[in-house]
Structure 1
């Protein structure tokens, strides 16, 4: 048995689905079901006894303590996080509460539980904290990619909150001996991603005939990681990672945002062309850049390949085609998540459009 927090979100749900493709080991899934947590992501597991869903907050110490005592998991994987930079700029307190205070309280529950274990159960227990490459800050175009030794230089409330949670995880290992693991991943994309992030937003807006808003000049560079590859990497780390270690997980796919959008448009032109025959790229509009926008992220993923034998199975070309096709095939899912709050948020973010 493992305990997962945030398992109804984008990466967490994909992880659980992928987990059950390879093992029958049960999962206790603790999720608060905020705007990005959606049980429809796990609809295929509705009657599956291996999946035990619990609606709750990772910061609820009484609840997490009860779950650990009742289910006796051999490990915890902490996916739960507020993760959208734009939202952190407008509402940073939510990020402090979930990413810092929530992680602290979960660590406290895990520490007490772990100390109560005996023998092999204690030595085999792991606490895996899922983090981001954004904690490392921004790179210049000719800088080497982030390694696990790169100093932390977070530039947004989101990345600062994740950096703080990473430091707490590290401290609980060095101070208390808690057997922790930390992963720092690059930009994920794939099925079930809430359409506020770049790729699903472009797909959804394109199909709806809306503008495709691009921050600044669109030359910001990101490394792109297909979500199933990320899930396989996390599974490798929880199974064989060394306590106290950090593992960077990347897709070896550095691309400017504007290139990503043109790729999405080209795939939509092929798979579901506009009735008028015009390319979706004609819907691209440039908007005022967001404050403190990092220029480039890049992950050096050689450590996890060298030590655990993991490397991504998907190229960007194969992964993005699968992603676009998934959104075309799952319009009901898209409609379900596009409630009034979502529409208000997108309007607020991109109301100032420039040619």
Structure 2
């Protein structure tokens, strides 16, 4: 069966105008969650923050002993699993780049894209689809977190995916700084702050903690923001077995910076309503990563307390939903979003 590649045409000026947000309807306060300042232009800052490092040989089952080092003088520790993961990535990434090396701005078969992304979602069920009931409401009553967490990652990385799945479960928004291979901006920030170019990398400005290692990050997130809850059964362990499948099925999309991506940083953060295991949202996040566009991620998994915010903004609870405060446009269709992103933020 052949599939015609007729999707993702460039949007016409008339279509763009039809998507425009009325300036009198939405203000930054509508886009914020828990009073967050949505349009932050600040990435990592050095304020003598401490980096948490897990000691080598720590148990995966129980609490791990940690020690603290200044971000300016990082201590690098590795374990056997970490070295093995790096070896697999060093082999897999160039191979997938060779297989999937196509111009991401060209028209694609939407059927093929959605089907392969759907298979990727099936491979990771049930993780990254549902929010823990009421956990966000309890946090909000205490005003936590006051500031958005900052996640440095790239979409195709299975260990970054593990952290994004945890954020969905915890109903936590975050500032996402894509770090594709060939990055012009964000990889340097991670290296200068943490001392090494490794992903995912989490910065929590509320506690002054920064972390490498996805397992440590997930445990930290649940300890700090899980209200006594732990990760869903298998979330941590399953990554080693099925976490690679979405990366392989999607042929490494969301892994490498597109050569025509604009080097300039957008003045205001784009905002994406999404949840990790949604097949259409994945396609949009891949594009954001390939363009190295930082954005505010609003997780709205099933049962999310933020679904009402999405309903008020979009008139629907469907994701993905993108807001671009730089142009005053919003979109609720993945094909239109991807076309818009490559039209607006690349040198075509």
TM-score normalised to structure 1 length: 0.24
Structure with more helix by fraction: 1
Using the size of structure 2 for normalisation, the TM-score is 0.24
With a CA cutoff of 8 Å and minimum separation of 6, indicate the structure with the bigger relative contact order: 2
